[in-house]
Amino acid sequence: MYYVYILKSLRDGSNYIGITTDLRKRLQEHNFKGLKFTTAKQPYKVIWYSAFLDKIKAYKFEKYLKTGSGIAFLRKHLI
């Protein structure tokens, strides 16, 4: 399974969109390891995720959520 997820920073309320095959492990990495894009805004909580069987569809959906129309979609329908 491939998980597209949205994290919310408990520090400043910003969102982070990502993809993984192990959501629990990835959340731990965001919160406790020095990851390049998320260290400054730790800690995080998962506010939404979706599971995909198809890797390509998961990556395409993650990429879409990072576009202007994808951000509007997630604000209206997901969070």
The yes-or-no verdict on residue 79 having pLDDT over 90 is no
Q: For 22-72, how does the pLDDT look when each residue is reduced to its tens digit (9 = 90+)?
A: 999 999 999 988 777 788 889 999 999 999 999 999 999 999 999 999 999
Range of the domain at 27: 2-78
3-state SS string for the chain: CEEEEEEEECCCCCEEEEEECCHHHHHHHHHHCCCCCCHHHCCEEEEEEEEECCHHHHHHHHHHHCCHHHHHHHHHHHC
Domain count, the chain: 1
The model's pTM is 0.91
CATH number at residue 6: 3.40.1440.10
